Chains A and B, each alone.
Chain A
């Protein structure tokens, strides 16, 4: 972490970290004024936001629906199967995505048969975000639902029995018992997610994007990667990376104190 200082220095490999000259906030300013600032910022925020909007409720809903399945054996089977993608490596998942969305891939064929256009969806900037978010949900819905299922099983069964006696149907029970019961868990997870608004996982982006989709796919961390390791602009990319980390930390604290205020649930 000490290496962060190079963000404020004009790092040169031959001089080493300590001997390089201090340049203050030069590289931060260069990033803010550069033409990639807006692009990476917008992409990062949009991808995070959509991921939060669609990706966050999905496992909650899935857990609730799964909870309504009465056959234990069937339930176990579904769980086992939906956890599976979590263990497959990112490389394989992305390999499959690229293949399935290519011009004669599995998904493209499906889209064509539903009346869509035959094209290479991975090469199209307009389709990158939906594909990214959709496959994210596909890969993580089962695994992320574990924590909600745990919360669901922690709800006192007597509450349901009492509700039945009082004449509450299953939808009433869901609304008045189940949802309040898992609310603290949901809020904690939401805090954690919000703290990461600015850090879109670079692994998947780097594996999925190509120069045709940079326009909508390039996020801050993948930009750091390209600048730092591709073009060897160490100081500049460290500055960009540091900017991202600091904003994330601030976000985490902000969301945490907000939720402390409104719902008495917080992380620390």
Chain B
């Protein structure tokens, strides 16, 4: 249908596009700035005035410094362990939980569902949880403390449940006739049929583990067990760039201080940034399923 546009509508369109372009700039420029600043020479960066469009005095010194730092490396190791182990446990437990909640013959499933939804709105709070993990389960300073408390997210469980419930029951019945038990049904039939949602779950949980820092901050005491985000926090927010420069020369110290911060951000965020464009559509899909559920 072709319709004539009034002048005011045309003006609106133009303004709208300008606004959107502005949004893009506002969102992207901070990240762009970080990338450019990380490639800069700190001294030149400090002196720089105006908009930074290319590195001020190109230098890779900051990156060299970051990769030499033992904390960053051990942080990376911890984070990768937690992401891998945590996500595996997440997926396993969430699917079993969701499977259980879709079994019609499971007598207390309604009750269990309500109990779980209740926890979304009401929880014991930070301190009782802390005491439970630290004193009750004795998980202080253990990586398990980062994995077990977040083993199942109720929200994700509900998304998974909705998805499982949509699988026709007759498939399962015919498997039962062929002699499959519940475990076989779950792992050989339901889960392969739900691969897209499982992919979304892996991404949700994986990114959550990668980005989490708070539980590590309260449970982990040994520095070599710190995950990457916690190391980042020390460098970025507690301003302990000094700790990164142990052993380097005085003048040298000053000149890379600023860009080291930016380089650490890049090093810690790059994995997410690299996969982001590919996983983005799955995230949106997962979000929709959750939204429909409400």
Contact = CB atoms under 8 A, between A and B. Distances in A.
Interface string B13-28: 1001101100110111
Contacts of B125: 4, 224, 238, 241-242, 244-245
Interface in B209-235: 210-211, 213-214, 218, 229-230, 232-233, 235
Given A81-B27, A95-B237, A1 B16 contact: no
B27 A234 contact: no
A167 to B, nearest CB: 10
Interface stretch (B66-74, B139-147, B170-178, B283-291): B283-291
Interface in A174-202: 188, 195, 202
Contact of A248 (B31, B121, B124, B210): B121
Contact of B284 (A74, A77, A96, A146): A146
Nearest to B276: A87
Interface in B52-102: none
Given A68-B13, A82-B23, A83-B280, A228 B123 contact: no
* Chain A contact surface mostly: helix
B138 interface: no
A57 interface: no
Contacts, number: 175
B32 to A, nearest CB: 11
A241 to B, nearest CB: 3
A92 B214 contact: no
Nearest to B30: A96
B6 interface: yes
Interface in A135-180: 138, 141-142, 146-147, 150, 161, 164, 169-171
A170 B12 contact: yes
A69 B237 contact: no
B104 interface: no
B105 interface: no
Most chain A CB inside 10 Å of its own CB: which residue of B1, B28, B127: B127
Given A78-B23, A89-B229, A95-B236, A146 B128 contact: no
Nearest to A80: B280
A249 B211 contact: no
Contact of B265 (A92, A228, A238, A252): A92
Q: Which 3 A-B pairs have the closest CB atoms?
A: A3-B128, A95-B236, A241-B125
Interface of A: 1-4, 6-7, 11, 13, 17, 62, 65-66, 68-70, 74, 77-78, 80-85, 87-92, 94-96, 98-100, 104, 106, 109, 138, 141-142, 146-147, 150, 161, 164, 169-171, 188, 195, 202-203, 206-207, 221, 224-225, 228-229, 234, 237-238, 241-242, 244-246, 248-249, 252, 267
Interface of B: 1, 3, 6, 8-9, 12-13, 16-17, 19-20, 23-24, 26-28, 30-31, 33-34, 46, 49, 119, 121-132, 135-136, 207, 210-211, 213-214, 218, 229-230, 232-233, 235-237, 261, 265, 268-269, 272, 276-277, 280, 283-284, 287-288, 291, 294
Given A4-B124, A202-B126, A244-B125, 16 more contacts: A13-B135, A69-B17, A70-B13, A87-B272, A90-B211, A91-B230, A91-B236, A95-B233, A95-B265, A100-B30, A164-B1, A170-B9, A171-B9, A224-B126, A234-B127, A252-B121
